[in-house]
């Protein structure tokens, strides 16, 4: 791996030059940023996924319950383009899996939309709805919008300080891009992380005095849910169960399930579109447990044997002060 990084490092230098020039142009006003009167929280990361953005968006929806909330995503992986407001009957191909997951979970409590041009998306949301707050999903690098608060996520198992720029590593921009955030959240921590370990991470990240540092972990539901029923995970204790994942980092999910079951893991790439042959393999299994995001892509394929395990973000100590 180290030899490959050395080989790719010259391309990372070139990539750094391009992204740094772009950020400089925004910082100096050469490229236009649009500000809005409504509070806008942008959630994102420096790396290429797997930091828990969707559970964090869901956390902010719950935290701001009672407000009229708009959620705007790009709609990664959808087969459409432009601005679309998400309906409960929409498909993954139309709006993307994660935006549809969020809409299905919160229904009429939120207005949810997708648009690759976030400025256009915000204008449409504000023209169509009376909102108190807009949440931007995966918009840390989308600098045409100047959000009122930036929340930067970095995974406990792969801090941005330990990573490298593309293509040698997984960073979308230089580590210095973290300075734009008001809040930095170390996600996917052990729930029992010690004070000493948290202090070591704080010292490694070297945040600005004005930045808030928080630590979060993934909490799993006690139940798995299907089309018509739910079952306690303890009901599967000791059994071999097929687990299907199409997410960036399935390791924590699999590790958790192994506390209850013997895992037969069918692993696919993030945002995977299942083929007919793959669906038939899944259908042939007695019981299948999958992630909530994967279930959104599987639920309309007549697979009564498939159930999903919900997750949520919880904080260890201090929560984001916004």
Tens digits of per-residue pLDDT, 39-92? Answer: 999 999 999 878 999 999 999 999 999 999 999 999 998 999 999 999 999 999
Mean pLDDT of 190-219: 97
Beta bridge partners of 49: none
For position 129, what pLDDT does the model report? Answer: 98
pLDDT tier for residue 10 given thresholds of 50, 70 and 90: confident
> What span, in angstroms and rounded, lies between the C-alpha atoms of 98 and 96?
6
- As given in the structure block, the two tokens for residue 242 are 């097929």
pLDDT at 273 over 60: yes
pLDDT tier at 240, thresholds 50, 70, 90? very high
pLDDT tens, position by position, 285-320: 999 999 999 999 999 999 999 999 999 999 999 999
pLDDT tens digits, one per residue of 254-272: 999 999 999 999 999 998 9
**Record: fold of 2-219:** Rossmann fold (3.40.50)
| pLDDT recorded at residue 49 | 76
151 has a pLDDT exceeding 60 = yes
Q: What value does the mean pLDDT take over residues 228-232?
A: 92
Q: What are the b/e assignments for 53-73, b being 16+ CB within 10 Å?
A: bbbbbbbbbeebeeeebbbbb
| Gap between the Cα atoms of 95 and 93, Å rounded | 6
Per the prediction, the chain carries an average pLDDT of 95
Q: Is-contact 303 226, C-beta < 8 A?
A: no
Read off the pLDDT band of 104 (50, 70, 90). Answer: very high
CA dihedral sign of residues 267, 268, 271, 275: negative
- The answer to whether 266 and 244 have CB atoms below 8 angstroms apart is yes
Q: Inter-axis angle of helices 53-63 and 97-106, to 10 degrees?
A: 30
Cα 94 → chain centroid? 19
pLDDT, position 256: 96
Confidence of residue 1 (pLDDT cuts 50, 70, 90): low
Task: Work out the burial of residue 2: count CB atoms within 10 Å of its CB; fewer than 13 is exposed, 13-18 middle, 19 or more buried.
Answer: exposed
Mean pLDDT of 116-120: 97
Check residue 278 and give its pLDDT.
96
**Region of residue 310 (phi > 0: left; psi between -120 and 50: alpha; otherwise: beta):** beta
Which pLDDT does position 241 carry in this prediction?
Answer: 97
Output b/e per residue, 180-196; b: 16+ Cβ within 10 A.
bbbbbbbbbbeeebeee
Tokens 């959240």 appear where? Answer: 185
How many angstroms separate the most distant Cα atoms in the chain? 61
Secondary structure class of 302 (helix, strand, coil): coil
pLDDT category of residue 2 using cuts at 50, 70 and 90: low
Mean pLDDT of 95-99: 96
Question: Other CB atoms closer than 10 Å to residue 41's CB: what's the count?
Answer: 24
In what side-by-side order are the strands of the sheet with 133-137?
Answer: 84-85, 110-114, 69-73, 133-137, 40-45, 149-155, 183-187, 212-220, 311-315
Predicted local distance difference test score (pLDDT) of residue 6: 72
Q: 322: pLDDT confidence band, cut at 50, 70 and 90?
A: confident
Please provide residue 40's backbone torsions phi and psi, each rounded to the nearest 5 degrees. Answer: -130, 125
What does pTM read for this prediction? 0.94
* pLDDT higher than 60, residue 125: yes
- Band (228; pLDDT cuts 50, 70, 90): confident
Closest CA to 311 of 251, 227, 223: 223
Mean pLDDT of 219-237: 94
């Amino acid at each position: 791996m180290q030899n490959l990084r050395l080989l790719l490092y010259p391309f990372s230098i070139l990539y750094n030059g391009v992204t740094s020039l772009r950020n400089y142009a925004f910082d100096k006003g050469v490229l236009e940023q649009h500000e809005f009167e409504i509070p806008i929280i942008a959630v994102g990361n420096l790396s290429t996924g797997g930091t828990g953005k969707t559970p964090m968006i869901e956390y902010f929806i719950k935290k701001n319950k009672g407000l009229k909330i708009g959620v705007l995503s790009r709609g990664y992986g959808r087969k459409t383009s432009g601005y679309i407001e998400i309906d409960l009957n929409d498909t993954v191909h139309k709006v993307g899996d994660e935006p549809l997951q969020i809409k299905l979970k919160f229904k009429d409590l939120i207005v949810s939309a997708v648009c690759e041009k976030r400025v256009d998306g915000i204008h449409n949301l504000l023209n169509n709805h009376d909102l108190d707050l807009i949440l931007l999903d995966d918009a840390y690098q989308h600098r045409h919008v100047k959000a009122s608060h930036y929340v930067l996520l970095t995974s406990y198992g792969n801090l941005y300080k330990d990573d490298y720029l593309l293509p040698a590593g997984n960073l979308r921009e230089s580590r210095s891009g973290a300075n734009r955030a008001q809040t930095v959240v170390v996600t996917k921590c052990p729930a029992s992380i010690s004070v000493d370990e948290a202090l070591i991470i704080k010292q490694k990240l070297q945040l600005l005095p004005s930045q808030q540092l928080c630590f979060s972990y993934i909490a799993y539901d006690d139940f798995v849910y299907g089309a018509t029923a739910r079952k306690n995970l303890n009901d599967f204790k000791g059994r071999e169960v097929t687990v299907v994942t199409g997410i960036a980092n399935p390791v924590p999910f699999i590790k958790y399930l192994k506390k209850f079951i013997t895992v037969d893991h069918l692993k696919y790439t993030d945002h995977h579109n299942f083929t007919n042959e793959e669906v038939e393999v899944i259908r042939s299994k007695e019981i299948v447990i999958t992630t909530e995001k994967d279930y959104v892509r599987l639920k309309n394929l007549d697979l009564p044997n498939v159930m999903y395990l919900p997750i949520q973000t919880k904080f260890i100590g201090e929560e984001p002060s916004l």
